[in-house]
């Protein structure tokens, strides 16, 4: 089932590159300000957060502004989107200038059956409607399980065939390959919904552009039908230090013309 709307302009667009800060989480825990400065010096234009390491929203905003970085998203647990916690989440992300609230995974009760995934889609629709007046969008980030059959159905399809088109399908392309699936048909199936994507290589120990991910076609689809606003580098294996891996990754992307 095709869901969402492809952008009218199908010509390739230049898309900025961000770093998912989970890639350098230990550096962030020690010195978030210094890590953001290093990431900006490498040439990244934005960062996607995976926690804020005890800093207030005003402190985070000041760090971003000092280094000329934008918030490309925030990975946020589902509990922070429920009940009274949602207002606090909205306020924090408004302060740092973030529009994309992305759930990076879910407890089993949300994912352990096709019906659970359908209930999750309905919940996401409700949360997305509450975020919309604040100019924010909800998204979901995959691991491998979302692309492996569950009682004969593919969870990614269950979620995004039922979720409203404004909900972002944040594909982690490395995890899709880990699941033994082809990422490209899923980008085509849900046009306009790959607003942010994770640029991760497979196998993990390879640097971006040096493994099995079909990046040329992946980028072509993001830049034509995906409506992609951010390429977000994520690194989970480290042949050298995490910061040096981040530097190598953006260098490889620049060499690919990104």
> pLDDT (tens digit, 9 = 90+) per residue, 211-249?
999 999 999 999 999 999 999 999 999 999 999 999 999
Name the band, by pLDDT with cuts 50, 70 and 90, for residue 10.
Answer: low
Q: Which residues on neighbouring strands pair with residue 18, listed in sequence order?
A: 46, 232
Asked if residue 9 is part of any domain, the answer here is no
Tokens 């995890």: give the residue.
175
Q: Which range (1-15, 65-79, 84-98, 132-146) has the least confidence?
A: 1-15
The two tokens of residue 180 are 């033994």
Name the band, by pLDDT with cuts 50, 70 and 90, for residue 12.
Answer: low
Q: Which domain covers residue 92, as residue numbers?
A: 17-255
The reported pLDDT for the residue numbered 170 is 98
Asked if residue 173 is part of any domain, the answer here is yes
Asked if residue 3 is part of any domain, the answer here is no
Asked if residue 10 is part of any domain, the answer here is no
Asked if residue 205 is part of any domain, the answer here is yes
Name the band, by pLDDT with cuts 50, 70 and 90, for residue 8.
Answer: very low
Tally of domains in the chain: 1
Does pLDDT of 3 surpass 50?
Answer: no
Asked if residue 214 is part of any domain, the answer here is yes
Distance CA 36, CA 34 (A): 5
Q: Which residues on neighbouring strands pair with residue 102, listed in sequence order?
A: 75, 139
Does pLDDT of 5 surpass 60?
Answer: no
pLDDT over 90 for what percent of the chain? 94
Asked if residue 8 is part of any domain, the answer here is no
Q: What is the CATH number of the domain that holds 174?
A: 3.20.20.150
């Amino acid at each position: 089932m095709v869901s969402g709307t492809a952008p009218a302009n199908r010509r390739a667009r230049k898309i900025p590159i961000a770093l998912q800060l989970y890639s350098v989480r230990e550096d962030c825990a020690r010195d978030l300000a210094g890590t953001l400065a290093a990431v900006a010096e490498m040439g990244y234009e934005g960062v996607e957060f995976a926690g804020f390491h005890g800093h207030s929203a005003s402190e985070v905003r000041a760090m971003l502004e000092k280094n000329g970085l934008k918030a490309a998203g925030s990975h946020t647990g589902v509990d922070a989107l429920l009940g009274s916690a949602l207002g606090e989440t909205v306020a924090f992300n408004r302060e740092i200038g973030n529009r994309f609230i992305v759930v990076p995974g879910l407890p089993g009760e949300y994912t352990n059956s096709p019906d659970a995934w359908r209930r999750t889609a309905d919940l996401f629709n409700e949360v997305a409607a509450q975020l919309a007046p604040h100019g924010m969008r909800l998204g979901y980030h995959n691991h491998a399980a979302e692309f492996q059959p569950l009682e004969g159905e593919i969870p990614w399809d269950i979620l995004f065939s039922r979720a409203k088109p404004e909900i972002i399908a944040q594909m982690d392309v490395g995890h899709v390959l880990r699941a033994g699936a082809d990422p490209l048909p899923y980008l085509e199936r849900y046009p306009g919904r790959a607003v942010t994507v994770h640029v991760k290589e497979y196998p993990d120990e390879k640097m971006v552009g040096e493994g099995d991910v079909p990046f040329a076609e992946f980028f072509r689809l993001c830049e034509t039908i995906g409506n992609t606003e951010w390429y977000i580098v994520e690194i989970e294996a480290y042949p050298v230090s995490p910061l040096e891996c981040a530097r190598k990754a953006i260098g490889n992307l620049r060499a690919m013309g990104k």
